Amino acid sequence: MSAIVRLEQIYPFPSNTLGAELNRYANAEVVWCQEEPENMGAWSFVDRPIESVLSNLTVKARRPRFVGRRAAASPATGLNKRHQQEQAELVGAALSIA
């Protein structure tokens, strides 16, 4: 069985709601996926709160795994072909089990 939990609101962080939802999937891998590079977007904000939620649950995952573009000075590659390749890799990594 596979499931996707989509976190739409990150502030105030919905710790109780997210915890209740993640608790339903005790063996799930927790993945944070974003299109922005790792040093941009919400990852730097949600990493610790998600880890805190996981630490209070009886689940296999202890930390979320980041899936997205590697850190960069710009949010775009500048080349459409490279962008399309990165996008395909990002989606593939987000939807596969490590």
pLDDT of 50-63, one tens digit each?
999 999 999 999 99
At 10, is the pLDDT very low, low, confident or very high (cuts 50, 70, 90)? very high
3-state secondary structure of 5: coil
Using only the alpha carbons of the chain, give its radius of gyration: 14
Residue 5, pLDDT above cutoff 70: yes
DSSP 19-78: HHHHTT-TTPPPEEEEEEETTSTTHHHHHHHHHHHHHTS-SS--SPEEEEEPP-SSSS-S
Residue 49, pLDDT above cutoff 60: yes
Residue 95: what pLDDT?
A: 82
- Are 57 and 34 spatial neighbours (Cβ–Cβ below 8 Å)? no
The per-residue pLDDT of the chain, averaged, comes to 91
Residue 98, pLDDT above cutoff 70: no
Residue 17, pLDDT above cutoff 80: yes
